[in-house]
Amino acid sequence: MNGHAGEPFLKFPEDWHRRHLLDLESLSASEITSLLDVSEKMSERYRQKGKMSLLAGKTIANLFFENSTRTRNSFSLAAKRLGADTVEFSSSGSSVTKGETFIDTAKTIEAMGVDAVVTRHATPGTSHLLAQHLNCSVLNAGDGPHEHPTQGLLDILTIRQQRGTVRGLTVALVGDISHSRTARSNIWGLQKLGAHVIVCGPATLVSKKWEQLGVEVAYSLDAILPRCDVLNLLRIQFERQATRPFPSVREYALLYAMNAERMRMSKPDILIMAPGPINRGVEITPEVADGPHSVILQQVSNGVAVRMAALWLLLGAGRSASTLEGERV
């Protein structure tokens, strides 16, 4: 039992009706806020009481057709902290290499009796396809360069925790915008919550067309730095680039790496974020990554909280009862 008699620690948001989390583009500001609020509650409760049984008896499958360490582990931990069982699947050594389509693979895993599938794939739209073909809940853990909704949410949660609100802040996404699912999810989420978003990177990786999404496009990091409240330094996606979009890593670092010198040009309370894995020395120098403005590790912790919230909301475990007790298993 928790301390306050009859006081539930968690309330299921009345306006939450989704079974899938595929992107942030289609979510409303209030749905995003619900996710963030539940995430806060989840992490607070976990800190106080440890593992919960909110999803006891549920099975969640991690279906990763593309390599991942942190996201996969983060989802696994989230499921386990809520008392769910997890099934791990990765494409190497699986039937996919034997010619089975990813939809068939997913259907097979579903048939084993899973309640949610967490999926990552190199092609945009794959989680949307699974949502059409499967009966269980689908969580997009990254579909190529398209979206990575839980990454967007954990970034936004980190900003909100640090600043109390997202509204009115200037957030710059720096680096390989065009190949970044993190950029797209951040743009949708941040703009819905009222932030001003700048996308900044080499012209071959950020075209002026992005302005039509309502963001500001900048090529010079130095020029925008004094205005930024938050910098989110995206990883250069070497593996997604058909032709090399800039002459050398050295030149990229010269123009866009966040280093001590650039820190001096920044606002004194600037937040430094990176979705990781980071290429130290490319997007960010070690003294910045490990410095006092960096919230990179807080992002990682928030990742687990956001994924707990998403799983709980999507599985609708709290929908039948209006309130819930999070009991120790």
Partner 1 sequence: MQTNWLIENGRLIDPRQSMDRVARLLMVEGKIAAIDPSDDDLPRDCHRVDAEGWIVTPGLVDLASELGEPGREEDETIDSGTLAALTGGFTSIACAANTDPPIDTATAVEFVRQKAARADRCRVYVIGCVSKGRAGEELAEIGSLVEAGAVALSDAPRPLSNTALLRRALEYCLMFDKPILDRPEVNSLTRSGVMHEGMMQLVLALAPMPAEAEDLATSRDLRLLETTGGRLHLSSISTSGSVELVRRSKARGTVVTVGVRIGNLCFNDEQLRTFDSNYKVNPPLRSRDHIDACLEAIEDGTIDVITTGHQPKTLEKKMQEMDAAPFGMSTLDTALAQVITYLIEPGKLSWKRAIECLSCSPSQVLGLNAGTLVVGAPADVILIDPAEIWTVERSQMFSRSSNTPLLGTPLRGRTKMVWVGGVRKFVREPGK
What residue ranges bind partner 1 (CB under 8 A)?
A: 25, 101-103, 121-126, 128-129, 144-147, 178-179, 181, 184, 207, 209-210, 212-213, 242
Rounded to whole angstroms, the Cα distance separating 277 from 312 reads 27
Please give the backbone phi and psi of residue 37, each rounded to the nearest 5 degrees, phi first. -60, -45
Q: Look at the block and give the residue holding tokens 């004194």.
A: 268
**Taking the complex as a whole, how short is the minimal distance between the CB of residue 183 and partner 1, in angstroms?**
9
- Dihedral of the CA atoms 315, 321, 326, 329 (nearest 10)? -70
Q: How many CB atoms lie within 10 A of CB 136?
A: 21
Please identify, using beta-carbon distances, which residue of 23 and 229 lies nearer to partner 1: 23
Instruction: Report, in Å, the least distance between residue 180 CB and partner 1.
Output: 9
Shorter beta-carbon distance to partner 1: residue 144 or 316: 144
Distance in Å, CB of 151 to partner 1, minimum: 14
User: 20: closest CA among 131, 110, 124?
Assistant: 131
Q: Which is nearer to partner 1, 145 or 175 (CB)?
A: 145
Contact present, 169 and 314 (Cβ < 8 Å): no
β pairing state of 59-64 and 116-121: parallel
Structure tokens at 310: 């998403």
Instruction: Give the residue with the Cβ less far from partner 1, 146 or 293.
Output: 146
The residues near 288 (Cβ < 8 Å, ≥ 6 apart) are 258, 259, 260, 263, 272, 294
Tokens representing 103 are: 């939809």
The pairing of beta strand 271-273 with beta strand 10-11: unpaired
Pick the closer one to partner 1 by CB: 213 or 324. 213
Q: Which among 161, 244, 231 is positioned nearest to 202, based on CA atoms? A: 244
* Angstrom distance (rounded) from CA 324 to CA 327: 9
Q: How far is the CB of 126 from partner 1 (least distance, A)?
A: 5
Do strands 137-143 and 170-174 pair parallel, antiparallel, or not at all (unpaired)?
unpaired
CB of 310 to partner 1, least distance (A): 21
To partner 1, the closest distance from the beta carbon of 191 in angstroms equals 13
Task: Decide whether 102 or 246 has the Cβ nearer to partner 1.
Answer: 102
Q: Give the nearest distance from C-beta 266 to partner 1 in angstroms.
A: 29
**In the complex with partner 1, which residue's Cβ is closer, 95 or 162?**
95
Q: Which is nearer to partner 1, 34 or 137 (CB)?
A: 137
Measured between alpha carbons, how far is 195 from 20 in angstroms, rounded to an integer?
Answer: 25
* Smallest distance from partner 1 to CB 123, Å: 4
Return the structure tokens found at 196.
């001003």
